[in-house]
């Protein structure tokens, strides 16, 4: 049981949320996720995921020149992506509630 397993299906939503703020490119996304406290994200995770989301029409991409390096592929949310984000939030809150109610049954600290 590792942290990586806990992320399955959750990174998707987090990435949608980050793109929702403003368009980002993959390489930048990895850095942003780390800032939010996630363990460093492999590019082998992020790029396939972005491509999958584009295939599912949750995001669109446009290439833009970089000041240093090859072109950046910027992603933004589609309407469908916005909806998916909202649904993710609902699912996440539900999951969070269930897990916390299981965990707090045992007096895990004070009280």
**Is the Cβ of residue 64 or residue 80 nearer to a copy of itself in the bound state?**
80
The answer to whether 72 touches 25, Cβ cutoff 8 Å, is yes
5 is an interface residue for a copy of itself by CB under 8 A: yes
The answer to whether 86 touches 16, Cβ cutoff 8 Å, is no
60 is an interface residue for DNA by CB under 7 A: no
Residues 6+ apart with CB under 8 A from 50: 15, 26, 29, 59, 61, 73, 75
47 is an interface residue for DNA by CB under 7 A: yes
Interface ranges with a copy of itself (CB under 8 A):
1-10, 12-14, 17-18, 20-21, 33, 36-38, 84, 88-89, 91-92, 94-99, 101-103, 105-106, 108
């Amino acid at each position: 049981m590792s942290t990586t397993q806990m992320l399955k299906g959750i990174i998707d939503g987090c990435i949608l949320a980050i793109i929702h703020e403003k368009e980002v490119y993959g390489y930048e996304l990895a850095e942003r996720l780390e800032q939010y406290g996630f363990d460093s994200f492999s590019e082998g995770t992020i790029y396939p995921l972005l491509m999958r989301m584009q295939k599912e029409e949750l995001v669109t991409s446009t290439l833009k020149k970089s000041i240093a390096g090859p072109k950046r592929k910027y992603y933004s949310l589609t309407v469908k992506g916005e909806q998916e984000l909202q649904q993710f939030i609902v699912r996440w809150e539900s999951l969070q509630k269930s897990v916390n109610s299981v965990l707090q049954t045992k007096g895990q600290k004070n009280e």
